[in-house]
Structure 1
Amino acid sequence: MKKLFLLICITCCVLKLSAQNEKPNILIFYVDDLRAELGCYGSETAITPNIDKLASEGVMFNKAYVQQAICAPSRMSTLTGLRPETLGIYSIFTPLRKVHKDVVSMPQLFNKNGYKTVSIGKVYHHSSDDKKEWSIYHAKEANSYNDPKHKAILERLEKEGKKPLKGPAYDMADVEDEAYKDGRAAKYAIEALQKLKDDKFLMFVGFSKPHLPFNAPKKYWDLHDRNSFKIPSRDKPEGVYRLALTNWGELKGYHGIPKEGDLDDELTRTLIHGYHASVSYVDAQVGKVMQTLDDLDLRKNTMVIFMSDHGYKIGEYGAWCKHSNMEIDTRVPLIISRETNFKKRKVGKTSNALVENVDLFPTLADLCGLEGPSFDGKSILPIINKPNKKGDAYATSLFSRGKKIMGVTATDGKWRYTEWRNSTTNEILQAELYEHKNSLLSFTNLSGDKKYAKTEAKLKALLEQQFPRDKAFLQNDMPRK
């Protein structure tokens, strides 16, 4: 009897150890143009119950930052664990593999180590990057319009030979979710989960909304009261560098958007409404995929990550879109929910540690026990396991203005210091210092103010650790065709 009891105990220990050592699945929701404005982040206007639920089951990071507030370089950085200044790519025109043939990416490493790799929707900006490294691949789709009036406009513009062809900046039709592309992305993700339920997988589900155009089914527009949206101040920060903000040409390319001047309040409110509707639309798709994960009994051994490629402006500073070094463009939502087969899930924890999107790849390699390449980022697994643990002293980002001017920026979580430099000589053209203790926005450049001299000196020293003045910026960007 004692022998039998001992045998049972040993067997239980072995099974438990085996479960603990089993590599988890990875599911990553990668959202385009999503700022840190969700219900779980304290927004009074966002309606995001499914994302909020995910936050209640994991660790929500209050101070997560991207390395550049533009799609292609940001996504390359996430998928390689390397910073834009290491890759030397700062624009959307250069595919990763046109320049870097040998850099090891996340899908390459996981594919090599027996994982099924899945790319759905917008993962890389360039669909050609690492296309062969995905076991299942659904390319990002073009935007679709379902409002008959907007479809007619698009058809007319196409006949007129309008290039680049862009329809209205928003669309709202009483249709099912799959009539727009993110609904189809959720459908493909569900099908992939059903197919791979017995395999180990790394799955990226790339949702395109709330990127322009703000196209979402009418029911998600109806969730929101447009009169609840306040028109943000159009004031620009006092003392801001002349090229710190853009003329938001990305929005101006859409039909019906004035080419000059600020938008009026009516159109501004409509676009803010459309942005929120698009976020709620994405939230519903997250809910569908998470429900499938539960239905297939996969949640217990799947780490789920919700993240964005950069932040976004919806009228703040009189500007739109991203393309800057401002806090509102570089700070992003990041939620990580651990699998329950391993250490006890950290439920509803919030971390104020500074982390960066470039940390994702080394974190997942660490989690899965994979020997990865050399990274610029670092594993934040210790913070996921202990959310009160301190992170890095600072996080950095950059944004170029053509070939001649580079903006580099650092934050300690409360202050943001930016230098605009000559890309070749590293001469400082202008500096900016903004306080962000209580807000994503700041309206006064405090650089040069004697009252904040110690703070500026501290941030400047941190910035120069990452961007030393004696080191030129690598330039691998290819000219726009």
Structure 2
Amino acid sequence: MKKIILLICIIGCILKGAAQNKTPNVLIFYVDDLRAELGCYGSPTAITPNIDKLATQGVKFNKAYVQQAICAPSRMSTLTGLRPQTLGIYSIFTPLRKVHKELVTMPQLFKENGYKTVSIGKVYHHSVDDKSSWTTHFPKEKNSYVKPENIALMERLKAEGVKPLKGPAFEDANVEDEAYKDGRAAKYAIETLHKLKEDKFLMFVGLSKPHLPFNAPKKYWDLYNKDNFKIPSREKPEGMYRLALSKWGELKGYHGIPKSGDLNDDLTRTLIHGYHASVSYIDAQVGKVMQTLEELDLRKNTMVIFMSDHGYKIGEYGAWCKHSNVEIDVRVPLIVSRETNYKKRKVGKTSNALVENVDIFPTLVDLCGLEGPESDGKSILPIINKPNTKGDKVATSVYARGDKIMGVTATDGVWRYTEWRDSKTQEVLSAELYEHKNSLLSFVNLSGQAKYRKVEDKMRRLLESEIPKDQGPFLQNDRPTKK
């Protein structure tokens, strides 16, 4: 009998070990326009219990950065592990595969290695990208309005030939979650998880909010009191380069938004309210999908990543949206929860290591034991496993102003240094130096001040070690972004 019991124990240990060594699944929540406006990041206003719970089960990165603060290039960078200057695509106009048919992308590599690859909602900016690399593909849906008066408005604007055709910048219909597209994205994710529970998978759940328009069910608006939101300072940094901030035409294109000048306080508060409602809305969708992982007993073998394609301004500097090199636009939330022992983590870990979205692809290659393509990023798996591990010395981003001027920027986690260069000659037209030790915002350009010369020299060397001026012109394979 003792021998039988011993044999059963040995077999049990072998099976347990095999289960632990099983190639993990990967689930990525890829959110649009989300800055670190979350409870777990210290937001005094955001109500995000489900994302906060995920942070207690993994590693929250305080210093995560994107490679460009605009949807298409940022997402291409994540899915290829290559920076925009490697891809030569800096605007939203060109699909990846129109230019680069030869590159091996994340879904392509995982599919070739036996994974079911799933794209739900907005993953690439262009739904046509990489279609053959997804075994299941739910394309992103267009923005929708539910209120009858807004539906009628859209029909009228269309009949009048208004272009671009955009309705109101926000809506708060008293409807269920699935009336809007992110609720449907969660529904598709849940249905697909049930179908794939016996397979290994790489799943992206692309959540479109809090991208404009801020359309979310009324119950999420009701979580907040509009009057409690503070109006951000409209002050612009002293000495800032004239093209450092965009003219935020993305917001001004929406019906009812003034075409020029600052927004008044009432409209500002309404939009901030809408942004928060949209964040709480996507938080609820994350909760539904995570609950399904638990119910299907998939959580123990699924790495979960929560990330954003770039940050966002909701009135700071008197500006809106992204489209810049400033800290609040290029810093993003990033939470990574390992598939093993997550239940034992009563309190999540925090890492202040510098990491970048371009690191995600090589990290997953490392995690899953695959042989991946060359990458501009590096695996951050050692940091995920030991959050106190130091990261890189610098994180860089770029932003083009037309085809003649390129902004290149670097941070060491405290200081941000930016050069605005002639795209062809690399001549430095202007420079900026900002301190961000205690805030996402900074209001004085310290570049050129004698007191900060050593800091600026250090940051210049860090920037030019990653984006050297002698590299030649910045290649552009797509249409230039407008100034």
TM above 0.5, yes or no, is yes
Q: Distance in 2 between matches of 1:125 and 1:473?
A: 26
Q: Distance in 1 between matches of 2:194 and 2:347?
A: 27
The answer to whether the aligner puts 1:203 opposite 2:197 as a matched pair is no
Report the AA paired with residue 414 of structure 2.
Answer: K
1:63 aligned partner = 63
Report the AA paired with residue 403 of structure 2.
Answer: K
2:467 aligned partner = 467
Report the AA paired with residue 23 of structure 1.
Answer: T
1:81 aligned partner = 81
Structure 1 runs (4+) greater than 3 angstroms displaced: 1-10, 341-347
1:380 aligned partner = 380
CA contact (8 A) 1:20 1:342 kept: no
State which drifts further: 358-367 or 142-151: 142-151
Report the AA paired with residue 126 of structure 1.
Answer: H
Q: Distance in 1 between matches of 2:342 and 2:23?
A: 9
Q: Distance in 2 between matches of 1:445 and 1:203?
A: 42
1:176 aligned partner = 176
1:297 aligned partner = 297
Report the AA paired with residue 55 of structure 1.
Answer: A
Q: CA deviation at 1:18?
A: 1.7
1:118 aligned partner = 118
Q: Distance in 2 between matches of 1:92 and 1:300?
A: 37
1:156 aligned partner = 156
1:351 aligned partner = 351
Q: Distance in 2 between matches of 1:420 and 1:36?
A: 26
Q: Which residues of 2 match residues 330-479 of structure 1 at below 5 A?
A: 330-340=330-340, 347-479=347-479
Q: Distance in 1 between matches of 2:146 and 2:8?
A: 62
Report the AA paired with residue 236 of structure 2.
Answer: K
2:186 aligned partner = 186
Q: CA deviation at 1:153?
A: 1.3
Report the AA paired with residue 319 of structure 1.
Answer: A
Q: Label 1:373 to 1:331 Cα distance change in 2 as closer, same or farther (>3 A).
A: same
State which drifts further: 7-16 or 172-181: 7-16
Q: Distance in 2 between matches of 1:359 and 1:280?
A: 27
Q: How many residues align?
A: 481
Q: CA deviation at 1:147?
A: 1.8
Q: TM-score, normalised by structure 1?
A: 0.97
Q: Distance in 2 between matches of 1:479 and 1:379?
A: 32
SS at match of 1:340: coil
Output one character per residue of 1:346-397: Cα deviation in whole Å (capped at 9) or x when no partner: 8410000000000000000100000101111000000000011110011000
SS at match of 2:307: strand
1:266 aligned partner = 266
Q: Distance in 1 between matches of 2:265 and 2:396?
A: 34
Q: CA deviation at 1:149?
A: 1.9
Report the AA paired with residue 334 of structure 1.
Answer: L
SS at match of 2:107: helix
SS at match of 1:173: coil
1:29 aligned partner = 29
Q: CA deviation at 1:475?
A: 2.0
Q: Which residues of 2 match residues 249-260 of structure 1 at below 5 A?
A: 249-260=249-260
CA contact (8 A) 2:189 2:205 kept: yes
CA contact (8 A) 1:354 1:413 kept: yes
Q: CA deviation at 1:477?
A: 2.7
1:54 aligned partner = 54
Output one character per residue of 1:229-275: Cα deviation in whole Å (capped at 9) or x when no partner: 00001110000000000110000100011111111111111000000
Output one character per residue of 1:397-442: Cα deviation in whole Å (capped at 9) or x when no partner: 0000011000000000001000000001100000000000000000
Report the AA paired with residue 395 of structure 1.
Answer: A
Report the AA paired with residue 293 of structure 2.
Answer: L
2:144 aligned partner = 144
Q: Distance in 2 between matches of 1:248 and 1:448?
A: 28
Q: Distance in 2 between matches of 1:230 and 1:440?
A: 16
The answer to whether the aligner puts 1:224 opposite 2:221 as a matched pair is no
Q: Distance in 2 between matches of 1:80 and 1:142?
A: 25
Q: Distance in 2 between matches of 1:413 and 1:17?
A: 39
CA contact (8 A) 1:19 1:341 kept: no
Query: % of aligned pairs identical?
Result: 78
Q: Distance in 1 between matches of 2:283 and 2:174?
A: 18
SS at match of 2:281: helix
2:134 aligned partner = 134
Report the AA paired with residue 54 of structure 1.
Answer: L
Structure 1: stretches of 5+ with no match in the other structure: none
Q: Label 1:192 to 1:414 Cα distance change in 2 as closer, same or farther (>3 A).
A: same
Q: CA deviation at 1:20?
A: 2.9
CA contact (8 A) 1:24 1:368 kept: yes
Q: Distance in 1 between matches of 2:260 and 2:305?
A: 40
1:237 aligned partner = 237
Output one character per residue of 1:66-96: Cα deviation in whole Å (capped at 9) or x when no partner: 0000000000000000111110100000110
Structure 2: stretches of 5+ with no match in the other structure: none
Q: TM-score, normalised by structure 2?
A: 0.97
Output one character per residue of 1:148-192: Cα deviation in whole Å (capped at 9) or x when no partner: 222221111011011111001111110111111100000000000
Q: Label 1:297 to 1:34 Cα distance change in 2 as closer, same or farther (>3 A).
A: same
SS at match of 1:470: helix
Q: Distance in 1 between matches of 2:39 and 2:344?
A: 25
Q: Distance in 1 between matches of 2:423 and 2:478?
A: 16
Q: What's the C-alpha RMSD, in Å, of the aligned pairs?
A: 1.6
Q: Distance in 2 between matches of 1:8 and 1:369?
A: 30
Q: Distance in 1 between matches of 2:27 and 2:254?
A: 33
SS at match of 2:256: coil
Output one character per residue of 1:110-168: Cα deviation in whole Å (capped at 9) or x when no partner: 00011000000000001111011111110000111112222221111011011111001
Report the AA paired with residue 141 of structure 1.
Answer: E
Report the AA paired with residue 145 of structure 1.
Answer: Y
Q: Label 1:138 to 1:127 Cα distance change in 2 as closer, same or farther (>3 A).
A: same
2:327 aligned partner = 327
